[in-house]
Copies of this chain bind each other. A is one copy, B any other.
Amino acid sequence: MQPATTTRTQAKANRRSVLLNSAATLFAQRGFSGVSIEDLGAAAGVSGPAVYRHFSGKQALLGALLVGVSADLLAGGQAVLASTPDVDASLRALVAFHVDFALTKPDIIRVQDRDLDSLSDADRAQVRSLQRAYVELWVHTLEQLFPGRETAVLRLQAQAVFGLINSTPHSLRIHGRTAGTATARAVLESMAWAGLTSSQRRLGTGAGAAQTSSV
């Protein structure tokens, strides 16, 4: 009576995973509202309402996708902290982990910060909660390294670094040709590190130069 690994169960699990993966691609390309249930089924080799055998609806599929990735990020971050000897190494490993994630799964990154609002209230709350926990991993690490800085500033810095690292999905999708991912990895890690560790110093800049108006 164990959760038997019968043929049907296997097939179902596979289909579900194919559905999630192709959904990530489609949502990344066309956005949540730009993809129909028909499309989602077709991309997984079945057509239309078969999707309802795996998810209660389109929104629920998106929910599974984003809750999954948020949980993965958090778990990955926790694993990083558990396996590093000191705070300095922790931060470096966090950066490396996040860069790797962004370069490896650009689709999911894109869906996560594009279609978050299409989630059901419950799913959105859960995703936000997981994301917050992940951010706090960074903030806590940064607090140990930079006791002088306000927590609000550190949170803003963490978020800015996510933006920096997550920018590559955009860049890579738009230009066919950039530097290879190896170079990208090095550049992003270096920039993230610099942005986080350089002492906060004022830039002697005046205001925002000429303002053009058309919109």
Binding site for B on A (CB under 8 A): 17, 20-21, 24, 29-34, 65, 68-69, 71-72, 75-76, 79-80, 83, 92-93, 95-97, 99-101, 108, 113-115, 117-118, 128, 150, 152-153, 155-157, 159-168, 170-171, 174-175, 177-179, 183-184, 186-196, 198, 200-215
Contacts and interface: CB of A to CB of B under 8 A. Distances in A.
A168 B178 contact: no
A96 B196 CA distance: 19
Contact of A205 (B32, B92, B178, B187): B92
Contacts of A186: 200, 202-203
B159 A161 contact: no
25 contacts: A24-B215, A31-B118, A33-B33, A71-B212, A80-B210, A83-B210, A92-B205, A100-B208, A113-B170, A114-B114, A152-B183, A155-B178, A156-B168, A159-B168, A160-B165, A160-B168, A160-B191, A161-B191, A163-B166, A163-B167, A187-B200, A190-B198, A190-B201, A190-B202, A191-B196
A196 B97 CA distance: 21
Given A167-B160, A187-B157, A207 B100 contact: yes
B164 A65 contact: no
A210 B76 contact: yes
Given A153-B187, A157-B191, 6 more contacts: A71-B214, A72-B212, A96-B207, A128-B174, A156-B178, A191-B195
A198 B194 contact: yes
A31 B119 CA distance: 13
A215 to B, nearest CB: 4
